[in-house]
Amino acid sequence: VFGKMVEETEGSWGLVLVYLLTAAGAAAAAFWLQPAVVRGAVTVSLGASGAIFGLFAVSVLTRLSWDPRKLLEGLILGNFVVRQVLQEAQAQAAGGLSIGGLQVAHIAHLGGALAGVLLVWLLSKLPDPDAKASR
């Protein structure tokens, strides 16, 4: 769902780039902020969930506009995304969640979401090529 929404606003290649960049942000957060050893075991981070959190953030932020339909979509999705991010932060602060002896990389989820926010912010600072063409 969120990938399709990003693809609608950014195109197919935009979706691929957003996915890869937010995955890199999630991996960087896990690498730098996750402890290397937990309870005597080396930690390894694996999965795509950090990039999914990045897609969450990008899909909501690109929907925020003065168009009433897009604004309503952004608010509804934003509510879901904010709740998910807050749950991840709360789980991380509480020491994390283990499932079947495996630790969930909450910090990677938060890193992916932050990478999505930063990506949208950075892209908003670039000049609009359509505005130049219409002059």
Contact in structure between 109 and 25 (CB atoms under 8 Å): no
Which amino acid would we find at residue 4?
Answer: K
109 as an active site residue: the answer is yes
Q: Which of 45, 49, 59, 106 is catalytic?
A: 49
Retrieve residue 55's tokens.
Answer: 């897609």
Place of tokens 């932060």: 89
106 as an active site residue: the answer is no
Q: Report the C-alpha gap between 8 and 24 in whole angstroms.
A: 22
Q: Which of 45, 59, 106, 109 is catalytic?
A: 109
Active site residues: 49, 109
